[in-house]
């Protein structure tokens, strides 16, 4: 269940209300079911996945990719799997916990675990959105945002790309005023 934290501390959990708050940024957020395939559920419950297992997970969810290919033109997808056993996890995450933009949309389908996206809205206000399992989010290219893991330090997310060359953070050197995770 997504949770949006506003700068005054208010928390929103209704997806429609959250979408309304994020509308000035053209961010899309949807609930997408992972279904009830027992093999997929088993893989999602594992901490880590080898390359074959990642491919199985991606294939099981490719109906969404096919739709995105046709409607939005995304060309590729991969699966990111993070958990406390990943070497240098803090170092990996440090690239993204400052305000940055990308030349490509940041499109994520969370299929296990959770993470926090922060955004600066056009009026200068900041919000933090905790995204969890079965949530799809599209952050348009050029949107100022940041991202970090919750205390769980665990996420599996399908990433959809137009092109990977846009996948470099451009730092805008703005200060994050909202720092504390929404639900801890
Ligand atoms: Fe990013």
Q: Read off the tokens for 11.
A: 């928390």
Distance CA 89, CA 107 (A): 21
125 contacts: CB under 8 Å, gap ≥ 6: 6, 7
Assign 39 a pLDDT band (cuts: 50, 70, 90).
very high
Distance CA 162, CA 131 (A): 22
pLDDT tens digits, 145-184: 999 999 999 999 999 998 766 678 999 989 998 765 444 4
Distance 103 CA to ligand 1 centre (A): 10
Distance 145 CA to ligand 1 centre (A): 6
Distance 139 CA to ligand 1 centre (A): 8
pLDDT tens digits, 45-74: 999 999 999 999 999 999 999 999 999 888
Looking at the structure, give the CATH architecture of the domain made up of residues 3-171.
Answer: Sandwich (2.60)
Report domain extents, the chain.
3-171
Cα-based torsion angle of the residue sequence 13, 21, 68, 135 in order, rounded to the nearest 10 degrees: -20
Distance 113 CA to ligand 1 centre (A): 18
Distance 13 CA to ligand 1 centre (A): 23
pLDDT tens digits, 71-88: 988 899 999 999 999 999
Q: Read off the tokens for 16.
A: 């429609």
Distance 55 CA to ligand 1 centre (A): 23
């Amino acid at each position: 269940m997504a949770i949006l934290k506003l700068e005054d501390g208010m928390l929103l959990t209704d997806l429609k209300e959250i979408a309304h708050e994020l509308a000035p940024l053209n961010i899309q957020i949807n609930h997408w079911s992972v279904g009830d395939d027992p093999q997929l559920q088993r893989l999602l419950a594992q901490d880590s996945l080898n390359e074959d297992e990642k491919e199985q997970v991606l294939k099981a969810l490719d109906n969404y990719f096919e739709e995105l290919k046709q409607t939005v033109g995304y060309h590729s997808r991969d699966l990111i799997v993070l958990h406390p056993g990943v070497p240098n996890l803090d170092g990996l995450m440090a690239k993204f916990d400052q305000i940055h933009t990308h030349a490509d949309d940041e499109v994520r389908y969370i299929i296990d675990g959770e993470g926090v996206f922060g955004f600066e809205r056009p009026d200068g206000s900041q919000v933090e959105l905790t995204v969890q399992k079965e949530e799809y989010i599209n952050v348009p290219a050029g949107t100022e945002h940041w991202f970090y893991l919750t205390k769980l330090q665990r996420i599996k997310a399908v990433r959809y790309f137009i092109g990977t060359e846009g996948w470099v953070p451009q730092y805008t050197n703005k200060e994050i005023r909202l720092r504390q995770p929404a639900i801890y």
